Amino acid sequence: MEISSLVVSAAPGQRGAVRGALEEVPGLEVHGEDGNGRFVVTLEDGEGYRVVDSITMLQAMAGVMAVGLVYTYCDDGFETAEANHGNESA
């Protein structure tokens, strides 16, 4: 499991287009917007896609000026522990 928080900055006049495009990125959730084209987002990996792939998609997105990584967390053991939790006997 990997979760990252980023700030995505849209070019002037591109805020609406970028906002719409963000909705299409797998594992992305918009948490805030400052009205000047900066979005606070989180990315989470999932079945068939990774956070790094979604970040690359953001960097190549039309209307995006910058993508800044704020925080990232990775815990490969979480999924193993979660899967094993259901196998515990009482």
pLDDT of residue 90 exceeding 60, the answer is no
Q: Do residues 9 and 65 make contact, with C-beta atoms less than 8 angstroms apart? A: yes
Question: In which element (H, E) is residue 8 found?
Answer: strand 2-10
Tokens found for residue 83: 């899967």
Q: Is the pLDDT of residue 77 over 90?
A: no
Cα–Cα distance list, 29 to 19, 21, 24, 82 (Å):
11, 12, 10, 23
Complete domains list, the chain, with CATH: 2-85 (3.30.70.920)
* Run of H or E residues at 80: helix 76-85
pLDDT in tens, 25-65: 999 999 999 999 999 999 999 999 999 999 999 999 999 99
Q: Residues 13-30: what's their mean pLDDT? A: 96
pTM of the model: 0.81
